Structure 1
Amino acid sequence: MKNLAELLKAHPFFEGMDEDQLELIARCGENGIFNAGDHLARENAPADQFYVIRDGRVAVESYVPNYGSLCLQTLHNGDVFGWSWLFPPYLWTFDGRALDEVHAVRLDGKCLREKCESDPQLGYALMKRFARIVTDRLHTTRVQLMDIYNQQKPALDRGQ
């Protein structure tokens, strides 16, 4: 059976990270299993952790008044859910809901923030990885919006 540091090392998010850094990060983590329908996070609730998805699917959702929950993205094994633990006021900006059984490493945000404060190299290494996730997801959202608005744009009458 692998320890948490070995599980993290095998995850794409931590690729190329220093072994000592992985050991420090692993000390803030624990394995978690979520059943289909379980929430990993609730919008506007305290964001005290993030999740390294090892297996399963997580829906990133937002509540829309008069509509209900809207799935913005589906995350899979190899993905990370949650960056709100890193930025004040440390509140979730989205819901995270397991679509099937999810195996994940839950990492304690407060523990990691403290480690990052005392070890700026660790903080920078994590910040670079989270910045990549944020920019990738922003790009994905932009493409989705272009698809939506392109479908709604009326065809131009070239004869006038």
Structure 2
Amino acid sequence: MSGENRTPSDRAELEAQVAAHPFFIGMNAHFIGLLSDCAMTTRFAKDQVIFRAGETANRFYLIETGRVVLESGADAGGAAVIIDTIGAGDLLGWSWIFPPHTWHFTARAAEPTTAIFFYGTILREYCDKDPALGYELFKRMSEVMMRRLQRARDQMIAVMRKTAQGNNKPPRSSSH
């Protein structure tokens, strides 16, 4: 576990960060302690890929500073479609809790970003042992999942409309 080499003051500081994050506001102290046992701080450089669609989802992040974009596939021009932009106060990564535990989107830091990293595989074990923790995380993750899926749907519809409009343009007239 990530907490094995921490000093008591490091642990207390991380636990305070976790408890203060908007995603975990109101969660009981016991659960915050368990979450903190599985956490560490991390940083991402601008344009660094955090995870890729299709890879194993075994972690999640609470964004502290910076911005991360979620990307899906490519549009007709070959550019990645940005599904959502996630910033300070947001959660990144819900796929670790839902089978088959694979990422649905690619996440990339849009600017230098700091986050709290959580080991999802360890948390799944904690959830199996303590269903109340699992239920609490499930409720919170489900809210994020529903918002993200709605945004993904909206973005995909916008891309399809743009593509359809591009295909309906009249042919260019040739000058003789």
Fold match (TM-score > 0.5): yes
Gaps of 5+ in 1: 154-160
Letter aligned with residue 132 of structure 2:
Q
Give the number of aligned pairs. 154
Matching residue within 107, 111, 118 for 1:96: 107
SS in 2 for 1:3: helix
Matching residue within 99, 110, 127 for 1:116: 127
- d(CA) in 2 for partners of 1:49, 1:138: 19
Matching residue within 7, 13, 28 for 1:3: 13
Matches within 5 A, 1:36-51: 36-51=46-61
Please tell me whether Structure 1 or Structure 2 has the larger radius of gyration of its CA atoms. 2
Q: Deviations over 1:20-71 (max 9, x none)?
A: 1001001111100000011111111111101110110000001227523211
Matching residue within 88, 94, 100 for 1:83: 94
**C-alpha displacement of 1:149:** 7.5
Matching residue within 4, 20, 28 for 1:18: 28
**C-alpha displacement of 1:148:** 6.6
- d(CA) in 2 for partners of 1:8, 1:141: 27
Give the corresponding residue for 2:74.
64
State the TM-score, normalized to the length of structure 1: 0.86
CA pair 147-44 structure 1, distance change in 2 beyond 3 A: closer
- d(CA) in 2 for partners of 1:127, 1:77: 21
SS in 1 for 2:33: helix
Letter aligned with residue 104 of structure 1:
A
Q: Which moved more, 1:66-75 or 1:30-39?
A: 66-75
CA pair 91-146 structure 1, distance change in 2 beyond 3 A: closer
- d(CA) in 2 for partners of 1:122, 1:45: 25
Give the corresponding residue for 1:157.
none
Q: Percent identity?
A: 35
Matching residue within 42, 52, 55 for 2:62: 52
- d(CA) in 2 for partners of 1:146, 1:82: 23
Give the corresponding residue for 1:156.
none
State the TM-score, normalized to the length of structure 2: 0.78
**C-alpha displacement of 1:75:** 0.4
